[in-house]
Amino acid sequence: MSSESPGSLTVAVVQFAPTTNGGANIEQIAEFVARAVDRGADLVVFPEYSSYFSAEMGPDWLAAAEPLDGLFVSELAAIAAAQQVHIAAGVVEATDGTRFSNTVVVVDAAGSLVATSRKLHLYDAFGHRESDYAVAGPIVDPELFEIRGIQIGVQTCYDLRFPEVTRRLVDAGADLVLVPSEWVRGPLKEHHWRTLVTARALENTIYIAAADHAPPIGVGNSMIVDPMGVALASIGDDPGIALAEVSLERIESVREVNPALSLRRFRVVPVG
């Protein structure tokens, strides 16, 4: 049974390896959600590209793209309503047919779409060119959603390397930031992942819940980190679930000893 006290919730991150079989992906999602709810989850976070994924991005991704009222999001909403839980997951969202949007959707326990987040910084790095097929999300006001008084924001994968993205969510009021990802394996990449996830939590005195793809393509190591940079729960390299409690009381106590946000002398300004 999930917790019901105001100012706290149980968040789960799910690590799995989506494929090009959308039906199989949604079946795995349903199974993971059921297991997470049995363990008390109020919110279940899946990786980016949970609806469709292959090792090499190509025209097939455009063919697999769906609108937000399409089959994947509809089935995700049905799972959320059946299990009475919030779910966040990445979808290949259809746009104009020449590019897709790397989008994370959040559906609530009633099955309603309560937030969307489109990846701001595309992965044109380490030999990859996400922008060949995807379009960067527009700079818009963050869409936060709330569970029992906790404000929650979303960013995606490569956005972790841009600390102003998380700071902007925190400026909007986020206590917890979800980071659905497909953090590609490579030299030192697991180290980068753990360092950046921890830094975003520490410097903003918030919780981070980061869900990655399982190997062999992703680094795995999905994790939930608290405002002091403590990894409350993590997964190694196998598919699985990690859960932890998120508490406003913990955020407040950390900010009493580390009032970094109130001491800051700079603000985030979009450059384009």
pLDDT at 6 (0 to 100): 87
Mean pLDDT of 184-205: 97
pLDDT at 271 (0 to 100): 85
Taking 60 as the threshold, does the pLDDT of residue 194 lie above it?
A: yes
Calculate the CA dihedral of residues 232, 238, 240, 244 and round it to 10 degrees. Answer: 0
- In 3D space, the residue among 139, 184, 175 whose CA is nearest the CA of residue 261 turns out to be 175
Burial category of 123 from C-beta neighbours within 10 Å (exposed 0-12, middle 13-18, buried 19 and up): buried
- In 3D space, the residue among 184, 165, 147 whose CA is nearest the CA of residue 12 turns out to be 147
Q: How many helical (H) and strand (E) elements, i.e. helices and strands, does the chain have? A: 7, 13
In this structure, is residue 271 part of a structural domain? no
Taking 80 as the threshold, does the pLDDT of residue 39 lie above it?
A: yes
| CATH code at position 158 | 3.60.110.10
- Chain position carrying tokens 């793809």: 213
Query: Which token pair is 192?
Result: 């980068």
Q: CA-CA distance, 216 to 245, in Å (whole number)?
A: 29
Q: Are 13 and 224 in contact (CB under 8 A)?
A: yes
pTM of the model: 0.97
The domain tally of the chain equals 1
In this structure, is residue 266 part of a structural domain? no
Taking 80 as the threshold, does the pLDDT of residue 9 lie above it?
A: yes
In this structure, is residue 170 part of a structural domain? yes
Query: Which token pair is 189?
Result: 């990449």
Taking 70 as the threshold, does the pLDDT of residue 3 lie above it?
A: no
In this structure, is residue 217 part of a structural domain? yes
* Catalytic annotation, pick one of 157, 182, 190, 245: 157
The pLDDT-based confidence of 4 (bands split at 50, 70, 90) is low
In this structure, is residue 269 part of a structural domain? no
Domain with 63, as residue range(s), is 8-259
The string of DSSP codes covering 56-106 is S--HHHHHH-B-TTSHHHHHHHHHHHHHT-EEEEEEEEE-SSS-EEEEEEE
In this structure, is residue 264 part of a structural domain? no
119 is catalytic: yes
* Catalytic annotation, pick one of 119, 130, 182, 190: 119
* Catalytic annotation, pick one of 48, 66, 93, 245: 48
The pLDDT-based confidence of 272 (bands split at 50, 70, 90) is low
4 is catalytic: no
Query: Which token pair is 238?
Result: 């196998």
In this structure, is residue 78 part of a structural domain? yes
pLDDT, tens only, 100-113: 999 999 999 999 99
The pLDDT-based confidence of 1 (bands split at 50, 70, 90) is very low
Q: CA-CA distance, 44 to 17, in Å (whole number)?
A: 16
In this structure, is residue 145 part of a structural domain? yes
pLDDT, tens only, 163-193: 999 999 999 999 999 999 999 999 999 999 9
189 is catalytic: no
Taking 90 as the threshold, does the pLDDT of residue 262 lie above it?
A: yes
